[in-house]
Amino acid sequence: MVLLLKSIAQKWGIEIVNLWDDPELNAVSAEDYKRFMADPIHPTLEGYREWWSPFIEERINRMLDFQQCSKI
């Protein structure tokens, strides 16, 4: 699924927030991983609040900042 999403993004020239293989996001301790993930796919509420949501928010803000700069 991740490979297909990357292919779609490239085809249509869109940005994606890649949670699957981003080294910065995945540089989390084993202890935090246990707290943040209910299983290998689904985060806990704490995982969403403290790990995924801030990461997603930061990536979206980067995309928006880039779009604003490219219009100048």
Query: Which pLDDT score, from 0 to 100, does residue 70 have?
Result: 64
What is the pLDDT at residue 65? 87
Measured between alpha carbons, how far is 69 from 61 in angstroms, rounded to an integer?
12
- Domain ranges for the chain: 22-72
pLDDT score of 71 = 63
In the chain, the N- to C-terminal Cα span, in Å, equals 35
| 72 band by pLDDT with thresholds 50, 70 and 90 | low
**Chain segment 3-44, per-residue pLDDT in tens:** 999 999 999 999 999 999 999 999 999 999 999 999 999 999
**pTM for the complete prediction?**
0.80
